[in-house]
Structure formats: structure tokens, C-alpha cells
Amino acid sequence: MDPLPLKDKVAIVTGSASGIGKGIALRFADEGAHVSCFDLNEEGAKNTAQEIKGKNREALYFKVDVTNSQEVAEAVKKTFEHFGHIDILVNSAGIIRAHFITDVPEEIWDAIINVNLKGTFLCIREVAKYMIQQKSGKIISISSKSGKTGGLWLGAYCASKFGIIGLTQSVSRDLAPYKINVNAICPGNVFSTPMWDLLDKEYSRKLGVPPEQVRKLYVEKVPLGRECTVEDVANVAVFLASSYSDYMTGQAINVTGGQEVH
């Protein structure tokens, strides 16, 4: 195995201020990549970039609303102008809320679809323009186990994550002639993220159990008997971003401890 499989590659990672996005950005730097950090949380993106620089890699950071096509285009352009190439895109920006279907506010539905699905589309559309010129690239989008099987009280979130898988399959065919690989990762329950800090409280109210019991209930559903970690997801992201996955495209890979097996 190559000790630095991403040596001198340039990666854009959205949602890189925290959670899975931050974990992947830092891991990519460990594997030799330079990283451009996109996030609506500018201070968080800056902090991630500083950590990457501490690993002797180059890093940029941009305040980007992934639902805003102009902001996405400008940040991608500046990344390309700085590095001269873009080799990897990771779409990790995402939000979640839990509501019974009759209680879903329209604005919440729109926000989740816009950030999770439209944001993924806008970033792929913009980065692909540069990858097509290079005739190479790796695009990785973070879907979810909820993109394979619908989850309780998660109508909008599941719709967005199912949509990412459909988008991945379609775009993989569009971009295959240009030697661009397009894949998705479907993680299980990654408790060490701000998303789960929110869900603990929402599920606690709905399930009628203390917040500290919520995660226990979800772990009990996992055949391998533990939560999914950011490191579990980053391991697969490194593989998909490297040359080891050159013959894989259009896939949605489960990282769920056996909860999803298709």
C-alpha cells in the first residue's frame, strides 16, 4: 500500500468545520492531500485549515453556503486558481431534523433538500467543469443509511439522502468518459457529530426516554455492536479518493456495521 495515497492531490471538502467533513479533511491531509475547506461556519473552516497546515499541507478556507451557486462557483474558482488543479470533491455539508410527517414545516423540508441535495448538485456541477478539463477526478458524496432505508420521523432527510444516491448514479455515467469516478458513502449513526447532539434531544422527546438512553437504543440495532465513527467513514473516503478505487463508480457504499447490506 502507498504510504501517502493522496500525495499532492487537491481536495475540496464541504461541511469541513465539524463532524464527518472535518474528519475527512484532516485525514486527507494525513494521507498527503492539500485541502480547501468550505463551510457556512467560516471560523470552523478556518480552524480546520489551520490544523491541516499544522500537518505541513497547504490549506484554504472559504465561507460557502452550498445552496448559493455564486458562492460555490467563486470558492471553486479560487481553489483552482491557487492550486492549478482539483482532484477530489467531498460533499459532506448536511443538516437534519426529525418530525412526524404531518408536522414537517415546509421551510424545514425546503432547507434540508436545499442543503443536502441541491448543495451536493451545485458543488458537483461546478467542480466537474475543472475535472472534465483534466480528464480525471474523484467525487464523493456523503449519503446515509437513511439513503437506503427510510427512517422514522426523517422524511425530508431520507428524501435528500436517497436523492444523493440517484444523483451519484446518474452523474457517474455523465462523467465516466472523462475518467472521473463518482461514488457515495452511506454511514450509520455517527454519534460524535453536532447532528447527533441535536437528534438526542429530539428523539428523547419522541421516544419518551432520557437523552443518554437514545444512543444505546440505536447501537442495539447494529450487528457489529458499536456506533459508526468519523474514522470509519474517513477510511472509505480515502479509498474512494485514491487510485485504489479507479474501477469503481456509481456506488453507494454502506459503512453501517451491518445495518444495511445492500
Residues annotated as catalytic are 157
Report the relative pairing of strands 88-91 and 10-14 from DSSP bridges: parallel
Report the relative pairing of strands 34-39 and 10-14 from DSSP bridges: parallel
As to burial, measured by CB atoms within 10 angstroms (0-12 exposed, 13-18 middle, 19+ buried), residue 235 is: middle
Compute CA 34 distance to the chain's CA centroid, rounded to the nearest angstrom: 17
Q: Where are the alpha helices (DSSP H) in the chain?
A: 19-30, 42-53, 69-83, 106-112, 119-134, 155-175, 194-207, 211-219, 230-241
Contacts of 226 (CB under 8 A, 6+ apart): 219, 257
Short-list 9, 16, 8, 7, CA closest to 234: 16
- 3 state DSSP class of 123: helix
